[in-house]
Structure 1
Amino acid sequence: MTARTAVVTGANKGIGRAVARRLAMLGMTVYLGARDGRRGKEAETELRAEGLEVRFLRLDVTDEDSVALAARRVEDEAGGLDVLVNNAGTGAPVTLPSATPLADVRRTYETNVFGVIAVTNAFLPLLRRSPAARIVNVSSVLASLTHAAARHDPSGVFPPGVFPAVLDYNTSKAALNAITVTYANELRDTGILVNACSPGFVATDINDHRGHLTPDEGARIPVLLATLGEDGPTAAFIGEDGTASGQVLEW
């Protein structure tokens, strides 16, 4: 391995694309994971026009064969991996938990939960070859059981006493947080740091672009965690609050 290498899932648009761009601006070779070939190649072309070393990587996190092929390509071309950002995410139309179709919950979990496990396991052998690998799972403040139980949003997006009860999305991200801690505990003695982040209320497709932060602003905390020094935290949940190091959120 020579130049540091990163893989970002769901990176053809939104926060993922902004994360890929920021990492490439730091000098990394970034594999831009996307399941849509046309959109992925368009994003690659646009970022490479900025002089950035970005490569489209066909990657559908819900398809184990696609994940395996993507990991094999990165191994063949880069030999290893320094950063994995599990950004790909989805959510069903917002409705009451009691009215949420089970099929919607299953679809959301396929991407937000099982997809992260599949990608992490496939790329972990490559991350182990790095002297200082980092795994970043893009979660949400809505995943916090503590804040949900108190109906308190520390990011200030929702007023006190208001905390959206979205069955598929919130619980899938809570599961993602548990996955983060579980991998962090396995890898504590390897030098691989594993953390979750809440990028803030970012204007993306998943919220019909109602967020007040831009994707580039939402990319700040994921990139911060992707570039932690050896004294950085692991098994932490960090949110965007405008401060240099972000806000430690409750699980």
Structure 2
Amino acid sequence: MKLHLGNAPFTHKDRADDHYYQGRHFPAELHYNDFIIHFHGWYNHIDSVNSYFQLEKQFLSARKNAILSIPQGPKNAPDSFGGKLSEQGGLERFLTELTDSLIARKVLRSHKPGNIILTGHSGGYSPIAYILMHGGLRNHIMEVQLYDGIYSHLEKYVWWIRNQEARFFYIMTENGGTKILHRQLADSLRACGLLFLEMQEANLSIETAAQNKIILCHSNLGNNEVLHQQENYRKLIAASILKPLKD
């Protein structure tokens, strides 16, 4: 399903691009709606992301009762800008409009947001960083997953991890350009007295992810492989606190 939303990241006054929403719905509990919002990286768009990285397939295989939303960022461009979703209150406005649209289509029946998971690959790190600072709905954001995607804004992520009772997962590749900040992230977490697990991505399992609040992984895969080559997206979504889909 694709929706044109005024509060989607684009169009934006600082960029000239189309704006779309693509999502997949499973019936949620009537009193709230859980969301997974994924931000794509450079030189991509929602259709290429979904087909190449098999996001829909991995999401379905994780069997979680949630709505997967993939907002269109800068289309096929070397750009990490988050558009309207980088602005103050941007996430809250986006989800309000999205929920209203789905209610109008009789997909949802409640306006109330539940748990929110933010996931980002590569350049998708930037809109997430701003959302964590001032996007709204902060107490609903229960988890962040970054796939080779801390190129800057380290202080925003460390602040959020320190101050929120939430989960954080990060996978770094050897040649994706994130190695230095990965080390700085680990050093910052240690300096804050935060416990976390460091491990090889090849050993990541659903059980390990479910049992740890913060995991930093090193991967031998390439930047464009960490999402789907070992089905890491499926594993981390399956390990999340989201309710399982009923048979």
Please give the TM-score of this superposition, normalised by the length of structure 1: 0.41
Give 1 or 2: higher helix fraction.
1
Superposition TM-score, scaled by structure 2 size: 0.42
> Larger % of strand: which?
2
